[in-house]
Amino acid sequence: MAVRCVVRERQYFDSVFLMRVADRIGREPGVGQVAAVMGTAANKELLAEAGFHCPEISGTGPNDLVIGVQGERDAELEALLARLDDWLAPERSAAEASRPRTLDQAVAQLAGANLAVISVPGQHAAREARRALDRGLHVFVFSDNVPLEAEIALKRYAAERGLVVMGPDCGTAIIAGKGLGFANVVRRGPIGVIGASGTGIQEVTTLLDRAGSGISHAIGTGSRDPSDDVGGGTTLAALDALDRDEGTQALVVVSKPPGRRTLALIRDRVARAAKPVVACFLGADVERGGAPWTVVRTLDAAATEALRLVSGGRGEVRKDGERAPQAEDATAPPAAPRRYVRGLFAGGSLCYQAQDIFGGAGIKVRSNAPLEGMLRLEDPRRSEGHTFIDLGADEFTRGRPHPMIDPRLRRERILAEAADPEVAVILLDVILGFGCAPDPGGDLADAIVHARRSGRLDVIASVIGTPADPQGLDRQVRALRDAGATVSGSSAEAARLAAAMVAGA
Amino acid sequence: MSERFAELLARGPVAVNVGIRDFAETLRVQGGEVVDVEWTPPAEGDPELLEILDRLL
Amino acid sequence: MSTAVTDIKQRIEAANAEAVGRMISAEPVLVDIAPAGDVVPGLEDRMILHSGPPIAWERMSGAQRGSCIGIVRYEGWASSPSDAEALLASGRIRLEPNHHHRSVGPMAGTISPSLPVFVVEDRTTGQRGHCRVVEPRQQFGDFSDEAIGGLFSWAHVFAPSIREGLRRLGELPLKPLIAKALQMGDELHNRQVAASSLFANALAAPMLEAGVPADRLAPTLRYLAGHEVFFLGLSMAAGKSISLAATDVAYSTVVTTMARNGTEFGIRVAGLGDEWFTAAAPPIEGLMMPGRRPEEAGLDIGDSAITETVGWGAFVLGGAPGILSLVGGTPEGALRISRDMKEITVATHPVYRIPALGFEGAPIGIDIRKVVRTGIVPIIDTAIAHREPGHGLIGAGLVRAPMECFRKALVAFAARHGSS
């Protein structure tokens, strides 16, 4: 057993600091006991008891540093003590900058906080939202799987306080130019958007941006808001707010058809509105019912109508130089047995809209999220006939990332569909914006190339995004086109093109 | 008609983010003010304690 | 939301504001140093008070058993360690918690009738707290002659001298002294260097003026000058008087006691009377003295967590740069703890402020609801005693209060205050 001691005269250190130093030295290989103490009488006794019989120690006093090490070999101990200054140097910061652990503490830290963005698991979301409302914050609840009763209670509680609950299951919003959740980088402009559907809002706002216009605010309501159970509280509050908002000249409402009673409330509100309103109800015809609004059934039509309203009658969503794709773009007219369309969607509303367009063309479609009148796909993993899959549905996202974030699932499915000799067209939506995959078009390119190579099969895609999005609209369109996909100017148009290609096949 | 909603639209979000950390980053890169909460399930998810806390806190 | 629920929440908020308001407005003043038997309520002959929740001799930790043996020898109830042990095992010495007698004690915390204790009064409520002196041996379980000799020096030389000085002064207000020490880098639990010096300065001239004889004066001055954690006995007595001010506030969920006996960790809550909520004493994440190994360490022990209970100690560790090594040596680690403690407390103290935290106030008033909700438990600075009887101080570190205590307390609170 070797023992070595070093004394540093008149170098004072706190005892706890020195215990830490000893602890660090003691972790070195070949080191036994370590002592790092000031040379007080009591400490010298301790050193002797612990077997540090070094002659250097005897003359030390309370202001002298004593370091002793025991170990296997003298040379190693010498080397350790030669690095004494390193051992005495401050430790590098290991702790990350501290974040508050609760909403309460965050509110205390952030002067003027006015909004909580909540995306915790569904069973906890209502509780956090409720606390936020208690602290006077509006809330944006991205989380889904929030019980219906909790949503109803939250919205009532918020209304009593003049606060708004966007969500639950609210994918996106743009407030005063700032995107929340999955939002695109959209120019500010005269059109206010209210939507129960995240991807629906994304499609309308990006089409407006690409047409040279922009958004005052886009307010997500949550998918269930227009149902009669919830009663449209957020939709109505948003109508009020945007009708009064100085920066807003026209309003667009996007949702599935509201419940009967809620629809009546919305109609009443629209009838009193000072500004023109366009409503896009996906999946069903809704009577205008005497209210002075324009009712459409597809997202691009909603954008076109809104543009028309703010530009004095001339509106067209496609202004970015893109050519409207034509049926002739297709490689060849599909010949039997290649006769089916397989839609693989990341956006639930886009899947819904595509079914509606096919229904309008008299084509029956199967889906894991069927529109009324369409067929439910028995096994979401196996397509049959014309099949539109919402890959963002629970059965695909439980335990794995959403296809807007992670392309793997869709890539596999493209290859699977391409291997099916009955498939004529694969229909895709590619969604850009904050929170989405960094290169969603590029991620699918290999699979598209492979699909196109495997036979006489077309791939039609739409890109939901703007040139200013982090992923870059142009870059994504190019990646898809280079891979052999036809890129349409809107999701509705992509669906119409696909329908045209298989109509009568 | 909510004055507070109008204020939110006029002022823009000054946000507390609870959950997915990317959403805080999204706001930050857009120049938004945001504080990100290091969230963990309350009461470690214990249903009995959660029921009590809902009543008492 | 039903009104019943809103009512109970509002009642709790109001009660907690009351409890913490009392803690904040407390004015601790050192009024006496006297034999415990003269001043500690209910302390009778042949009784030893100990730290932590109630515990029988058979279940006591090594340090606490050693400390009891030491105090029996000090009182002269038995002379050899084995006789002392036999006497304790016979049940003829009553063992009760300090906290049942308005008292606290560091580590094993043993207080007996002839041992002089500090008496600190909260001038606002008149509540008095008592604490024994801090020393490095007997309170850790060392019952040797040297350890007992230390207690005799305290009882016969130091305590009487300081008492005479204090009488000359009249009394010593501790609030300003504590506020100053917090700004000088003390956290008033493991780190008392500034406060101990300030105390020595405050008493030196009065002891001289009081005519303390030279054969006691010089040793006493030398004792105070060299005893860097002397003030812990005073900060604990002050802490006890402050927390007593907040006890028995119906509906309050604020913690008024956190104490450990080396076997169990226990808490008490303002709105739940005298009931203890206990769990097994946790191990300490610590640093060992030279020659000591972690395997020798006993479990968490001592009433000194009274300092964290009133917002000092680990709660203001960010302000005590000298002992940052306890949290890995970085200010971030200490700041993180102070911020976490804010998450589980009701308020911050307007007077006790920490320069290193941007002069933020000390977090004060641990709320059992917030502890359970956040999963953040109070963190406590502490010393480490040996697992076996007969040793002195062997290390220092941090300990996390067991969540189980807070869960049990919350469930009991909910049961008491009915379902809505």
Contact A175 B6 (CB under 8 A): no
How many CB pairs (< 8 A) connect A and B?
Answer: 154
Average pLDDT over residues A64-87: 88
Cβ-nearest to B9 among A103, A109, A245: A245
Lowest pLDDT segment from A90-104, A146-160, C307-321: A90-104
How far does the CA of residue C322 sit from the closest CA of chain B (Å)?
A: 29
A343 CB-side CA count, 13 A: 38
Joined tokens for residue C194: 């500034």
Lowest pLDDT segment from A308-317, C120-129, C316-325, C392-401: A308-317
Q: What is the pTM of this model?
A: 0.82
Joined tokens for residue B31: 């120049």
Average pLDDT over residues C328-345: 84
Count of beta carbons in the 10 Å neighbourhood of residue B6: 17
C105-123 CB burial, b ≥16 within 10 A, e <16: bbbbbbbbbebbbbbbbbb
Q: State how far the alpha carbon of A163 is from the alpha carbons of A129, A138, B53, in Å.
A: 11, 5, 24
CA dist., res. C78 & res. C87, Å (int): 8
DSSP conformation class of C254: B
pLDDT value of residue C300: 97
Contacts of C226 (CB under 8 A, 6+ apart): none
CA dist., res. A375 & res. A94, Å (int): 57
Does C191 score more than 80 pLDDT? yes
pLDDT in tens, B27-44: 999 999 999 999 988 998
C9 CB-side CA count, 13 A: 13
Nearest-by-CA chain C residue for A33: C291
ipTM of model: 0.97
Contact indicator for A485, A428 with CB cutoff of 8 Å: yes
Question: Which 3 state secondary structure label does DSSP give C27?
Answer: coil
Chains that touch C (3 or more CB pairs under 8 A): A, B
Which residue carries 């909260």 as its tokens?
C122
Which residue carries 């080397």 as its tokens?
A79
pLDDT tier for residue A94 given thresholds of 50, 70 and 90 = very low
- At A218, give phi and psi (nearest 5°): -125, 120
pLDDT tier for residue A24 given thresholds of 50, 70 and 90 = confident
Cβ-nearest to B5 among A116, A237, A434: A237
pLDDT tier for residue C419 given thresholds of 50, 70 and 90 = low
Question: Which 3 state secondary structure label does DSSP give A460?
Answer: strand
Cβ-nearest to B27 among A100, A178, A244: A178
CA dist., res. A351 & res. A428, Å (int): 9
pLDDT value of residue C351: 83
Joined tokens for residue A380: 């979401």
pLDDT value of residue A488: 96
Burial of A263 (0-12, 13-18, 19+ CB in 10 A): buried
Does C1 score more than 50 pLDDT? no
CA dist., res. C377 & res. C318, Å (int): 17
CA dist., res. C87 & res. C84, Å (int): 5
Contacts of A362 (CB under 8 A, 6+ apart): A503
* Chain B residues in contact with C253 (beta carbon < 8 A): 56
How far does the CA of residue B1 sit from the closest CA of chain A (Å)?
A: 6
pLDDT tier for residue C323 given thresholds of 50, 70 and 90 = confident
Nearest-by-CA chain C residue for B52: C414
Average pLDDT over residues C233-247: 97
DSSP conformation class of C297: B
pLDDT value of residue A156: 97
Residue among A304, A342, A330 nearest A418 (CA): A342
* Chain B residues in contact with C373 (beta carbon < 8 A): 42-43, 53, 57
Which residue would you say has higher pLDDT here, A121 or C196? Answer: C196
Lowest pLDDT segment from A198-207, A248-257, A276-285, C317-326: C317-326
Largest CA distance in chain B: 42
First CA to last CA across chain A, in angstroms?
91
pLDDT value of residue A323: 47
CA dist., res. B12 & res. A197, Å (int): 21
pLDDT in tens, A460-496: 999 999 999 999 999 999 999 999 999 999 999 999 9
Lowest pLDDT segment from A24-33, A318-327, C385-394: A318-327
Average pLDDT over residues C68-83: 98
Which residue carries 């041996």 as its tokens?
C137
How many CB pairs (< 8 A) connect B and C?
Answer: 42
* Chain C residues in contact with B42 (beta carbon < 8 A): 373-375
Nearest-by-CA chain C residue for B51: C414
Q: Summarize chain C as % helix, strand, coil (round to 5).
A: 45, 20, 30
Which site among C376, C404, C407, C413 would you substitute to test the B interface, given the most B Cβ atoms closer than 10 Å to its Cβ? C407
Q: Which helix (H) or strand (E) holds C181?
A: helix C175-183
Residues of A (166-195) whose Cβ lies below 8 Å from B:
175-181, 183
C-alpha Rg value of chain B to the nearest Å = 16
Residues of A (409-438) whose Cβ lies below 8 Å from B:
434-435
pLDDT value of residue A29: 86
DSSP calls for A363-410 = ---EESSPPTTSEEPS-TTS--SSEEEETTSHHHHTTS--TTT--HHH
- Chain C contact for B18, CB < 8 A? no
Q: State how far the alpha carbon of A226 is from the alpha carbons of A158, A234, A252, A281, C114, in Å.
A: 17, 8, 14, 11, 78
C316-345 CB burial, b ≥16 within 10 A, e <16: bbbbbebbbbbbebbbbbbbbbbbbbbbbb
Contact indicator for A140, A117 with CB cutoff of 8 Å: yes
Contact indicator for A207, A432 with CB cutoff of 8 Å: no
Does C417 score more than 90 pLDDT? no
pLDDT in tens, A119-174: 998 989 999 999 999 999 999 999 988 999 999 999 999 999 999 999 999 999 99
Contacts of C347 (CB under 8 A, 6+ apart): C20, C24, C361, C363, C364, C365
Joined tokens for residue A448: 């598209």
- Chain A contact for C336, CB < 8 A? yes
Contact indicator for C93, C85 with CB cutoff of 8 Å: no
Contact B13 A178 (CB under 8 A): yes
| Residues facing A194 on adjacent strands | A219, A253
Does C130 score more than 80 pLDDT? yes
DSSP conformation class of A323: P
Joined tokens for residue C375: 């999963």
Residue among C397, C294, C391, C379 nearest C340 (CA): C379
